[in-house]
Amino acid sequence: MIDIAIRVEKLSKRYRIGRAQQRHDTLRDALVAGLRAPLERLRRDGRGLDRPAEDTIWALKDVSFEVKCGEVLGIIGRNGAGKSTLLKILSRITEPTEGRAVIDGRVGSLLEVGTGFHPELTGRENIYLNGAILGMRRAEIDRRFDGIVAFAEIERFLDTPVKHYSSGMYVRLAFAVAAHLEPEIMLVDEVLAVGDIAFQKKCLGKMSNVARGGRTILFVSHNMAAIANLCTHAFLLEQGRITRMGNTQDVIEAYIRSFQSLNGATLDQREDREGSGRLRFEDMRIQDRLGRLLDVVTCGQDVTFELAYTTDTSIRSQNVVMSIGFYNILGQPLFLCRSDLQGTEYRNMPAQGTVSCHIPKLPLPPGEFRVNLQCEVNGVVADWLRDAYIVTVIEGDFFGSGRLPSRTRGDLLIEHQWRQPVADAKE
């Protein structure tokens, strides 16, 4: 049908785990490897094609869906669910192992920061390069050039090689290019993960305009509020399979319900993590001021978050920064507790142990809140766990006034004082 922009049929992608890409240093090595390859295939076939291998994993399995022209489809799921793999296949960056995807229209992709940019080329040159990749003539790019530069806010660095850009500059330019060069289909992966709040709002506004213009968008994000505002339909990916599809709000609610299983497992069992692995969070506990473990927290209660970790001994003399990020249930950020902001950078850490973060008078109203954990070693992310824990907060007298705060009036509670009016001296 002509109104279908994307048709995906039983798409699957399998990756090999722990097997490095073979390298051929000489022509002789390449020839020998070529002669051995058929024999290796025969050996594998003799063991059985359908026999599961311990060194493989299915990032996607039997994924099928259709996207109509002009539809904005949200793709939801935890880290490692297969969202980015799916978009890479649709972008022709990665080939599927099984199945197929039929795409009708010119595709513009905004995936990982800097995907499609040549690091040695300037911002100006990369704009024209990306336009050429999309099949645009130079005159078409010229007409949109000023709008791209103004949106990205990189005028001063336009003729600087992008390898010198910060991650924020990178994503601003990448989004500006993808949004202004007007592909029929846009694939957007976590565009709101980098950049300041003002730019995130700017991106959402531009994507709304793009959607109203009739272009097709596939949007991946952990920000459920953005998904709800932009997307008419959505589906939930879990371990490479679609487990829920349909109305956006229904899919978001199914995703939120899946959080209930998070607190039942210790963090060392979690595989959906990012980072170098030089330090790993093993467990998280919440304690009151007497050291008692808490399953739920009262509004305004003094609490301590204890983080158990393991690490390799090579980081003992290096700077380690810990952080705990708090988000509402839709994934919107509320506040961040980061050790270096408070003046603490850990050194000479034992190979395993615990660190703690004390929060006097927890400023959260009744409800459920998502907690992210992150650790950096010498400025490089070592472990990053989204939705590491769901904190349940119950009613409490935060202000000491006998009145209980309501969740419907905001996501944060702030200490404040009102004073009686002072009569004007002229009266």
Q: What is the C-alpha to C-alpha distance for residues 387 and 1, in angstroms, rounded to an integer?
A: 40
Q: What is the C-alpha to C-alpha distance for residues 105 and 184, in angstroms, rounded to an integer?
A: 5
Do the two domains 4-22+55-258 and 267-409 of this chain adopt the same fold? no
Identify the CATH class of 4-22+55-258: alpha beta
User: Which pLDDT band holds residue 113 (cuts at 50, 70, 90)?
Assistant: low
pLDDT tens by residue, 48-96: 444 444 578 899 999 999 999 989 999 998 878 899 899 989 988 889 9
Q: What is the C-alpha to C-alpha distance for residues 194 and 173, in angstroms, rounded to an integer?
A: 12
pLDDT tens by residue, 150-194: 988 889 999 999 889 887 788 788 888 877 877 788 888 876 555
The size of the chain, in residues, is 427
User: Which pLDDT band holds residue 146 (cuts at 50, 70, 90)?
Assistant: very high
The pLDDT of residue 135 is 72
Helices 167-180 and 197-212: crossing angle in degrees, nearest 10, is: 10
pLDDT tens by residue, 232-265: 899 999 989 999 999 998 998 888 777 666 665 6
Helices 167-180 and 138-152: crossing angle in degrees, nearest 10, is: 140
Arch. (CATH architecture) of 267-409: Distorted Sandwich (2.70)
**Residue 97 pLDDT more than 90?**
yes
Domain residue spans of the chain: 4-22+55-258, 267-409
**Residue 270 pLDDT more than 60?**
yes
**Residue 332 pLDDT more than 90?**
no
As to burial, measured by CB atoms within 10 angstroms (0-12 exposed, 13-18 middle, 19+ buried), residue 239 is: middle
